Chain A
């Protein structure tokens, strides 16, 4: 059983200084065990300017078990799977502590973005590139940030309009886009797969 009173407190606490930290957490639905976290890309990294969505799934044992987190936005990073968004971070696994919160975990992920650990990679391809050809890595990461992590609200309307034109109901398009982190192609894929 998730300790919902604690989750509620965490959400309140986190959304208090949303402008300072650049981190927000919101419930995905009515259920407090499925959340969406948003972090901003750290300044001075290829991720600067991007807004990254992170899927948070609270297991039954939370806060005695680590929350399950993965990137919903596609990211080019040695410790984050470019396919699934899975994050390789010790505090989300064997070094979790119940004194950590969703916010501190998200902060750690933000720190991970600015300090990759290519020796302990999640995505071997990215890690190889990071070690052998940093410039290409940085360019790719910047390109991915540009294309996946920057969704202005106008862009969303445009995409919704496009997908709705294809014959999908607008409300469904909106939620699907939201779920995949604003990526038009992914949303289309998801809509087609039903």
Chain B
């Protein structure tokens, strides 16, 4: 029973690609420090069509004779190879395999190994009986359809109410919640996307999401009103030069339809249905910009004309954020105003005039 300890030493292939469905219940290591199993299974069987171009290592791991003595050090290799292969194998093949942990390479090595397979199966069965959360869920059922149906040795998950797939593990509550949350979020996004298809830009009179390039297939949300435009149209309009005779505040920066003044445009792939959804889009956009260093501020070397209203990050090279202390000045009429940057030269110039 030294197997479980050895197993964790090999890096999970699926984890390495960021796609392991088993999470913390995976038999393989999810620790980047562990070595990956990079042995070519086809080479073990004697024929690898890729030859020297194969991205896996062409080394003989163990000879069948040596295997028979069941030295525990060779196990991890076998496991690392066999597990992913059996999962991705087509349904017809998998029907003959009793458990996903059965080594696929075994067939190449003859009868001697089969005894071991039985041993392995026993191990799996034992593990299953001790902790229900360790039960491997059937990935075919989770993907929508299990060809083995009732006869499947793996547990079929419970039906997810949103995606209508049997992918909720009966004994892993955290995973269930996580999946439900993700699923609902995805579903909502899809719904919004469907709804957004119909929305037309009032400037180019085309449906925003039917534009030819991906960069154009975005809405430009105005902060103060709810009229839809495509991002390129509204940006184009707002950046029209004021010299063309158009008024900046009453025409250019206002909504082309309702003429309400908006100070910024928010790009978004979907069109919102409620105020909350809009707020969410605006907040996530601002949060994204806040993680980007401001070009004007330039780590404290430059001056940003937007000052405290800038959406971008104002941080110095050492990571310290810019501290902004607003200076309040008492104006002549008794009101307080916030002082902008005052230059000494400006001040002196004014002195001389008086």
Footprint of B on A, CB under 8 Å? 3, 5-6, 9-10, 61, 63-65, 93-100
Cβ–Cβ < 8 Å partners of B244 in chain A: 61, 65
> Nearest chain-B residue to A3 (Cβ)?
B204
Which of B202, B237, B245 is A93 in contact with, Cβ under 8 Å? B245
| Contact A96/B204 with A61-B240, A64-B237, A65-B240 known, Cβ cut-off 8 Å | no
Which of A3, A61, A97 is B259 in contact with, Cβ under 8 Å? A97
CB distance from B203 to the nearest CB of A (A): 4
* Stretch in B170-178, B249-257, B293-301 with 4+ CB within 8 Å of A: B249-257
Which chain B residues in 66-114 approach chain A with CB under 8 Å? none
Give 14 CB contacts A-B under 8 Å.
Answer: A3-B204, A5-B204, A6-B204, A6-B205, A65-B244, A93-B245, A94-B246, A94-B247, A94-B251, A95-B250, A97-B251, A97-B254, A98-B237, A99-B202
> Nearest chain-B residue to A94 (Cβ)?
B247
Interchain CB contact under 8 A, B206 and A97: no
Interchain CB contact under 8 A, B245 and A94: yes
Does B236 count as interface, using CB distance less than 8 angstroms? yes
Cβ–Cβ < 8 Å partners of A96 in chain B: 246, 251
Does B233 count as interface, using CB distance less than 8 angstroms? yes
Interchain CB contact under 8 A, A98 and B233: yes
Cβ–Cβ < 8 Å partners of B236 in chain A: 64
Interchain CB contact under 8 A, A95 and B247: yes
CB distance from A9 to the nearest CB of B (A): 5
Cβ–Cβ < 8 Å partners of A63 in chain B: 203-204
> Nearest chain-A residue to B251 (Cβ)?
A95
A-B contact count (CB 8 A): 45
Mark each residue of chain B from 199 to 228: 1 if its CB lies under 8 Å from any CB of chain A, else 0: 000111110000000000000000000010
Cβ–Cβ < 8 Å partners of B254 in chain A: 97
Cβ–Cβ < 8 Å partners of A10 in chain B: 205
Cβ–Cβ < 8 Å partners of B250 in chain A: 94-95
CB distance from A99 to the nearest CB of B (A): 4
Cβ–Cβ < 8 Å partners of B233 in chain A: 98
Interchain CB contact under 8 A, B205 and A98: no
Interface size on B, residues (CB 8 A): 20
CA distance A65 to B242 in the complex (A): 11
> Nearest chain-B residue to A91 (Cβ)?
B251
CB distance from B199 to the nearest CB of A (A): 14
Which of B206, B247, B256 is A98 in contact with, Cβ under 8 Å? B256
CB distance from B229 to the nearest CB of A (A): 8
Cβ–Cβ < 8 Å partners of B256 in chain A: 97-100
Which of B206, B227, B251 is A5 in contact with, Cβ under 8 Å? B206
Mark each residue of chain B from 252 to 290: 1 if its CB lies under 8 Å from any CB of chain A, else 0: 001011010000000000000000000000000000000
Interchain CB contact under 8 A, A99 and B203: yes
CA distance A171 to B245 in the complex (A): 40
| Interface residues of B, dominant DSSP | loop
Footprint of A on B, CB under 8 Å? 202-206, 227, 233, 236-237, 240, 244-247, 250-251, 254, 256-257, 259
> Nearest chain-A residue to B246 (Cβ)?
A94
CB distance from A41 to the nearest CB of B (A): 29
> Nearest chain-B residue to A65 (Cβ)?
B244
CA distance A99 to B251 in the complex (A): 11
Cβ–Cβ < 8 Å partners of B257 in chain A: 97, 99
CB distance from B251 to the nearest CB of A (A): 6
CB distance from A3 to the nearest CB of B (A): 6
Known pairs A64-B236, A93-B245, A98-B203 / 6 extra A-B pairs, C-beta < 8 Å: A5-B206, A9-B205, A95-B247, A95-B251, A97-B251, A99-B203
CB distance from B308 to the nearest CB of A (A): 31
CA distance A100 to B256 in the complex (A): 8
CB distance from B92 to the nearest CB of A (A): 52
Cβ–Cβ < 8 Å partners of B245 in chain A: 93-94
> Nearest chain-B residue to A101 (Cβ)?
B205
Cβ–Cβ < 8 Å partners of B246 in chain A: 94, 96
Cβ–Cβ < 8 Å partners of B251 in chain A: 94-97
CB distance from B64 to the nearest CB of A (A): 71
Cβ–Cβ < 8 Å partners of B247 in chain A: 94-95
> Nearest chain-A residue to B206 (Cβ)?
A5
CB distance from B59 to the nearest CB of A (A): 62
Cβ–Cβ < 8 Å partners of A97 in chain B: 251, 254, 256-257, 259
CB distance from B212 to the nearest CB of A (A): 11
Cβ–Cβ < 8 Å partners of A99 in chain B: 202-203, 227, 256-257
CB distance from A125 to the nearest CB of B (A): 26
> Nearest chain-B residue to A9 (Cβ)?
B205
Cβ–Cβ < 8 Å partners of B202 in chain A: 98-99
List the 8 closest A-B pairs by CB distance, nearest first. A99-B256, A97-B256, A98-B203, A99-B202, A94-B247, A99-B257, A9-B205, A98-B256
